[in-house]
Every structure is written in structure tokens, then in C-alpha cells.
Structure 1
Amino acid sequence: MAKKVQDPGLGEDAITTAKRIVNKDGSFNIKHLHGKTGISALYAYLVDISWTRFFCFVFLAYFILNLFFATIYVFIGVEYISVEPQTFIVDFVNAFFFSSQTITTLGYGAMAPTSLIAGVVSSFQALVGLLSFSFVTGLLYGRFSKPKALIQFSENIIWRDFNDGKALMFRLMNSKTDVMINPRVTVTLAITEMDNNEGYQRNFYQLKLERDHITYLPTTWTLVHEITEDSPLHKFTEEQLKTLNGEFLIMVSYYDEAFNEEVYRLHSYTFEELLMNVAFEKAFYFDEDGYTVLDHRKISHTEKM
């Protein structure tokens, strides 16, 4: 008989149209309202987002700042930054270039403030530039120094024959070339089921794994949950499994030598990502010199049983 576990902090209330709890990137699929904002929250956000989005924000902020100060220089008059007035477009472009040189404290010498007001504005802009680039430098350091578990999961979770019965399996590997030390895995199953009041609630079950920790992981690791009478999935047929509204919540933690501390990674699978009666292909082999070759592209490859 499967035993429920206490709510791990996700809430037991549910609806049939609820989104998945954990996204593919390991973030929680939660919208926050009226949360605290400030420099600390902004810093944490910019450290965690993707590199593409981070550089887009940096370039956008750089462009907007220069656009703002270029407008001021045009309003003051470009003749006060050593430029001969021409058309509005040309004046604005020259003002933008002067602003770019000022905010980066670069300065080529061709343009320079020649009035008190232009000198005050350019001095203030130089201060803004120093503070901005210091902030971005701190963000870059934070992004590189923050421990991150670069773990690659199989795209699907599989259901297959195992030990005269059935088992649920998924696979993971380290995306880096170093070795994961003492990796541990916990899997919590969240199933949305009808309650006694004809409403819906989430029920949580801790899945028992064949092995939930190993000493080190240089290649791949296939996690196995055998379907016994104690499994919460024992009562469902294969057809019922395909229609279940549930999610497998996975947390992996291990000691990372590069950061000299323990790191973790969250992941999840829904029943829509469940493949029936297939097995994972081997992702590593031996070359002619006897070396073990690990093919990261095969982490999700399966074959018919």
C-alpha cells in the first residue's frame, strides 16, 4: 500500500488545468505577486537568467542610457560638445556617439564639452557610467562564481519490463567533464486526484529508488523505481498512466570539486513525457585504445524492447 507524504511546500489544492510545478530548466512555475523588490532582488534575478537574456538587458540598458543623455545634449546644443550643428538626425547621432564615449570614460578627443552645462551633464554621465559598469562587473563575477549543477536529463521517463514486473526509469549525466562526487537523488510523485468533496487535490508520494545515491558518476546513471505493491503507481494500468494528471519532481545533489561545495538541480517529468515499453540505449562505449567514450547526444536515445 502506497503511503502519502506531507505536502513538501507546494500546496495540496489543485485544478485539472494546473501547469507543471517545475519547469524544464529547474525553476518553479510560480507567479509572484506583491513580492519584495529592490537592488538585491534585481541582482539575484540578473544572476540567474540565461546568458542571452542577460546580455540583451545589458545592451538595452546601455542603449537607453545613451539615448537619454544624447537627447539632453541635443537640447543643450551640439555646438557645446565641439560639433558643428547640422540636421537634427546628424546632430542626434553625434550626440549619441559623444554620450557613448562619455559613459565609457573613453573619449577620443574629437568631441568635448565647451560650456558649463555640458560639462556638468557629461560629468554626471561619467559617474553613472562608472557605477553601471561596476554593477555589470559584479553581475559577471556573480554569474561565473555561483555554483551551478550542469546535469543533463533524458528527455523522457520510461516504463518497461523489469525483474518479472514493471519499472519506471529516467537517466542523467554530468554535462561537464569532471566527476560528480556522492550524487543523491530524491523523486517525489505529485498526482492530482479527486477528493471526497468532488474537488481536486494534489497527493504526494516519495518514490523508492533501486539506488538513490552512489559514490561517483563519471558516465550515466539510470534511476529505477520498481513497481511493487508499495508503489503509488501499482494500481494503474498502462492506459491509465497515459492520462494521469501528475508530475515527477526530482532533486539531484552532489559535491562539485570546481566550486568546492555541494550543488543541486531540480527537474521534473509529466506523464505526457512517459514512454512505454522502450529501453535506454547505451551512451558510452570503448574505443580502439581502450578508452571509455561518453556520447552526450545519446542521453535520451531509446530502443524498442
Structure 2
Amino acid sequence: MAKKVKDPGFGESTITSAKRIVNKDGSFNIKHLHGKTGISALYAYLVDISWTRFFFLVLSAYFVLNMVFATIYVSIGVEFISVEPQSFLVDFVNAFFFSSQTVTTLGYGAMAPTSLLSGIVSSCQALIGLLSFSFITGLLYGRFSKPKASIEFSDNIIYRDFKEGKALMFRLMNSKTDVMINPKASVTLAITEPHKEHGYKRNFYQLQLERDHITYLPTTWTLVHEIIEESPLYKFSKEELKNLNGEFLIMVTYYDEAFNEEVYKLHSYTFEELLMDVAFEKAFYFDEDGYTVLDHHKISHTRKL
């Protein structure tokens, strides 16, 4: 008999059209309303986003800031920043370049404030520039120093023959060249089932794995849940499994020697990502010199049984 576990924090009430609990990137699929905002929330957001989005936001903020101050300098008069007035476009470009030099506290000497008002504005902008670049420097340090798990999961979870019965399997791999020390895996199954009072309800089950931890991981690790009588999936046929409304919630932790601390990675699979009667292909082989070669592109490769 499969044993249910307590709600791990996702809530038992649900609807059939509910989105997956954990996104493919490991983030929780939750919209926050009336949450607290501030510098700390902004800092956490900017540390977690991708490098592409981070640099795009930095460049956008830099451009907008200089556009605003260039407009102010044109309004004051470019003659007060040591520039001979010409057409509006040329004046604006010159003001933009002066703003860029001021916000970075660079200053080439060709342009400088020559009035009290332009001096006040440029002084305020220089202060804003110093604070902004200090904030960005802190973000860069935070992004480089924050430990992040380098785990890559297979695209699908598979259902196949195993021993004298069936089993579910998925595979993970270290996406870097260092070694994972003492990796551990935990898999919780959330199944949406009809309920008399609430319409539909999530039931949670802790899946037993053939092996839930290993000493180290230099290549790949295939995690196996054998579908025996104690499994919550034992009562379902192959056809019923394909139509189940559920999600496998996975957390993997390991000790990272680069950051000198334990890191974790969240992932999930839905039953729509379940492949039937296939097996994972080997992702590593031996070359002519006897070295083990790990092909990261084969993490999700399968073959028909």
C-alpha cells in the first residue's frame, strides 16, 4: 500500500488546469501578489537572472539615465557645458556624451560645466553614477560568488522493463568538469485526483529510489523508482499512466568543492514528459588512450527496447 506524505508546502487543493508546480529551470510556478518589494528584492532578482538579461538591463539603465540628463543639459543650454550651440540633434549628442563622462566620473576635459546650474546638475549626476556603479559592482560579486548547482537533467522520464517488473527512470549529469561530492536525490510525486468535498485534490507520495545517494558523480547517474506493490503507481496500467495529471518533484543536493558548501537543484517532470518502453543510451565511452569520454549532448538520448 502506497503511503501518502504531508503537503510539502504546495497546497493540496487544486484544479485540473493547474500549471506545473516547478518549472523546468527549477523555479516555482507561483505568482506573488502584494509581496514586499525593495532594494533587497531587486538585488535578489538581479543576482538570479541570466547574464544576458542582466547586461541588457544594465545597458538599458545606463542609456536611459544618460538620455534623461542629456535632456536636462540641453534645456539648460549646451553653452554651459563648454559646447558651441548648433542644431538640436548635435546639441543633444554632445550633451549625451557629456552626461556619459559625468556619470562614469571619467571626464576628458573638453567639456565641463561653466554655470552654477550645470555644475549642480553634473554634481548630482556624478553622485548617482558613483552609487550606481557601486551597486553594479556588488551585483557582479554576488553573481560570481553565489553557489549554483551545475546539474543537467534528461529531457524526459522513462517507463521501461526492470528486473521482473517495471520502473521509472530519469538521468542527471554534472554540466561542469568538477566532481559532485556525496550527491543525494529526493523525489516526491504529486497526483491530482478527484475529491468528494474539494472537487480535486493533490496527493503527495515520497517515491522510493533504488539508490538515493552516491559517493561522487564524475559521469551520469540514472535514478530508478521500481514500480512494486508499495509504489503509488502500482495500481495504474501503462495507458492510465499516460493520462495521469501529476508531477514528479525532484531535489538534488551535493557538496560543491569550488564553493566549499552544499548546493541544490530543483527539477520536475510531468506525465506528458513520460516516454514508454525506451532506455537511455550510454553517454560515455573510452577513447584509444583509455580515457573516459563523457558526451554531454547524450544526456537525453534514448533507444527503443
Q: Are 1:54 and 2:54 counterparts?
A: yes
Deviation at 1:198, TM superposition (A): 6.2
For residues 133-282 of structure 1, what are the structure 2 equivalents within 5 Å? 133-197=133-197, 199-282=199-282
Change over 3 Å in CA distance of 1:198–1:140 after alignment to 2:
closer
Calculate the aligned-residue CA RMSD, in Å.
Answer: 0.7
**What per-residue deviation string (whole Å, max 9, x for no partner) do you get for residues 128-148 of structure 1?**
001000000000000000000
Q: Are 1:21 and 2:28 counterparts?
A: no
Q: Are 1:298 and 2:301 counterparts?
A: no
- Deviates most, 83-92 or 186-195: 83-92
The one-letter amino acid of 2:179's match is V
Provide the C-alpha distance between the structure 2 equivalents of 1:90 and 1:202, rounded to a whole number of angstroms: 64
**What SS does structure 1 have at the residue aligned with 2:22?**
coil
Deviation at 1:239, TM superposition (A): 1.1
Provide the C-alpha distance between the structure 2 equivalents of 1:89 and 1:138, rounded to a whole number of angstroms: 36
For residues 84-163 of structure 1, what are the structure 2 equivalents within 5 Å? 84-163=84-163
Provide the C-alpha distance between the structure 2 equivalents of 1:224 and 1:120, rounded to a whole number of angstroms: 68
Structure 2 unmatched ranges of 5 or more: none
**What per-residue deviation string (whole Å, max 9, x for no partner) do you get for residues 255-301 of structure 1?**
00000000000000001100000000000000000000000000000
Normalised by the length of structure 1, the TM-score is 0.99
Aligned residues: 305
- Deviates most, 110-119 or 161-170: 110-119
Provide the C-alpha distance between the structure 1 equivalents of 2:258 and 2:195, rounded to a whole number of angstroms: 48
The one-letter amino acid of 2:128's match is V
Check whether the contact 2:191–2:245 (CA below 8 A) recurs between aligned residues.
Answer: yes
Check whether the contact 2:13–2:198 (CA below 8 A) recurs between aligned residues.
Answer: no
Check whether the contact 2:246–2:271 (CA below 8 A) recurs between aligned residues.
Answer: yes
Normalised by the length of structure 2, the TM-score is 0.99
Provide the C-alpha distance between the structure 1 equivalents of 2:220 and 2:160, rounded to a whole number of angstroms: 19
Deviation at 1:81, TM superposition (A): 0.6
Deviation at 1:24, TM superposition (A): 0.7
Deviation at 1:88, TM superposition (A): 1.2
Residue matched to 1:37: 37
Provide the C-alpha distance between the structure 2 equivalents of 1:150 and 1:13, rounded to a whole number of angstroms: 33
Provide the C-alpha distance between the structure 2 equivalents of 1:196 and 1:234, rounded to a whole number of angstroms: 23
**What SS does structure 2 have at the residue aligned with 1:236?**
coil
Change over 3 Å in CA distance of 1:139–1:198 after alignment to 2:
closer
Residue matched to 1:69: 69
Deviation at 1:197, TM superposition (A): 2.6
The one-letter amino acid of 2:210's match is E
The one-letter amino acid of 1:181's match is I
Identity over aligned residues, as a percent?
A: 83
